[in-house]
A and B are shown apart, each in its own frame.
Chain A
Amino acid sequence: MEILSSGAFINLENQEKIEQLKFTAFELANAALDTTGFVNTEESGKNLALEFWQGLEYMCRETEEATIKNIFLNHFLDRLRSARPTQSAAEIDLPQKTEQVVSEQIHQAEKPEDEYLGVIELADEENPLEENQSEVTVNLTQPEEISTSEDSSFQEVEVRTTENISTETIKETASPASEIEEKVEDAMENPVETSEASSKLSLPEKEPYQFNKCTVTATIQLLPEGADGETVRKAVFSVRTHDFVPQYTMVELPGNNLTAEIMPELEKVLATYKSDLPLKVMEKLKKEKTTAKRNAPKQAAEAKTVSQAAAKQSEVSSSQTAESETNQTNSPVIPPPTQTGLQGSLFG
């Protein structure tokens, strides 16, 4: 097995590369352990693994980067953990309930890792979305579970993981397929974001097309009161996300207490926009598909013309060379004129 050189391209389809990546992580962890002065703690291990990952500058597809990074980090940390002296579960004197928790966690730790995700399953296998999200949460919490062997910490971690699983996954099981795909992608991206820097600002165009996860711009415009002394005010609400067209709604407010009157209207408008957003996304995707289809034949035609032109050029050049060759072969060999005595006498 070879160590993967820095800057190498890794894709999940290439099993050999993945194996090399695992091996590299393992070897780097070994090297770190051999280094004098290296403190083998979970925190330092994580930091070192991240530093290594950044330094190695592996090239990945954007969608696969999180997964591949996860594989690397997991293998690196696993090696460090295995080298760390830890208390076995049998040595710990725990009440019956916590013992079960410990044995479950150890069982989880012993579970075979997913070769692509490099993570350990926690949820039922029936729901793939839940599985994926639980994987994310386990990734974040598992190192703590294994490294710490105190009663209290076990209980805390157990509570945390169950909370993590139950927050979004249960609510969003009945969502359409496109949304599920997005969520899975988000879930795959989450561990990277949380491990690197949570304070990163996301660009609006890269935000997911989900109402709760993207920047929503709502504008309220209060139009002037009527000329005949009426307090009724017209208000224009406009809501927008991404590069979609804004959704305008005009309402009439009694004008007695504007702030209180605006709130329910704004809620209505936002709720309407929230329900309409999936339709807008679908339309946008359809448009993008059609434009891509339109562009595809053009590009193919251009490519064809270019290749034909290139072929013609090559034909022309080959014929020219052939002609030149034939000219060279057919042309009679003319011997250089021999210097005669007459010519020599002219100059000298």
Chain B
Amino acid sequence: METTNTNTVQSDSAITEKLAVIKIEGQEFPLEAVLAEDDKMLKTVLQPHFSSVENANITREVKNGQLIVSIVKRAQHKGAAG
């Protein structure tokens, strides 16, 4: 069962930077903003390296024209995979 809690862009400013910043599992790295804008695409791209993205809270915000995506693994029931 796939559930995603997504908080989309919080600020009003538009995305001008080509690269977004992904924050996941205490790490940060750049990713093409085109890939980070959509949840489904983002999950597809991150899935091979971060399996926890499947059930995660995805929060987006724009700071100085750069998209910042914070992905926080959601706590699950005991025995649930991920």
> CA of A223 to CA of B34 in the docked complex: distance in angstroms?
12
Determine the interface band of chain A, counting residues with CB < 8 A from chain B.
10 to 19
Q: Tell me which residues across on chain A come within 8 A of B35, comparing CB atoms.
A: 236, 248, 250
The minimal Cβ–Cβ distance linking B17 to chain A, given in whole angstroms, is 15
B29, B34, B41: which contacts A246 (Cβ < 8 A)? B29
The answer to whether A238 and B34 touch across the interface, beta carbons within 8 angstroms, is no
The answer to whether A238 and B32 touch across the interface, beta carbons within 8 angstroms, is no
Q: Mark A219-255, 1 if CB is under 8 A from B, else 0.
A: 1010100000000000010101000011110100000
The answer to whether B49 and A221 touch across the interface, beta carbons within 8 angstroms, is no
The answer to whether B49 and A219 touch across the interface, beta carbons within 8 angstroms, is yes
Q: Tell me which residues across on chain A come within 8 A of B28, comparing CB atoms.
A: 245
User: Helix, strand, loop or mixed for chain A's interface?
Assistant: strand
> CA of A221 to CA of B35 in the docked complex: distance in angstroms?
12
Chain A, residue nearest B25 (CB): A245
The minimal Cβ–Cβ distance linking A243 to chain B, given in whole angstroms, is 9
The answer to whether A238 and B44 touch across the interface, beta carbons within 8 angstroms, is no
Q: Tell me which residues across on chain B come within 8 A of A217, comparing CB atoms.
A: 48-49
Q: Restricting to A135-186, which residues have a CB under 8 Å from any CB of B?
A: none
The answer to whether A219 and B29 touch across the interface, beta carbons within 8 angstroms, is no
> CA of A238 to CA of B35 in the docked complex: distance in angstroms?
13
The answer to whether A238 and B27 touch across the interface, beta carbons within 8 angstroms, is no
Q: Is B30 an interface residue (CB 8 A)?
A: yes
B residues contacting A by CB (< 8 A) are 27-32, 34-35, 41, 44-45, 48-49
Q: A217-B48, A248-B45 are in contact. List 5 more A-B contacts (CB 8 A).
A: A238-B49, A240-B49, A246-B29, A246-B49, A250-B34
Sampled A-B contacts (23; CB under 8 Å)? A217-B48, A217-B49, A219-B49, A221-B44, A221-B48, A223-B41, A236-B35, A236-B45, A238-B48, A240-B49, A245-B27, A245-B28, A245-B29, A246-B49, A247-B29, A248-B30, A248-B31, A248-B32, A248-B35, A248-B45, A250-B32, A250-B34, A250-B35
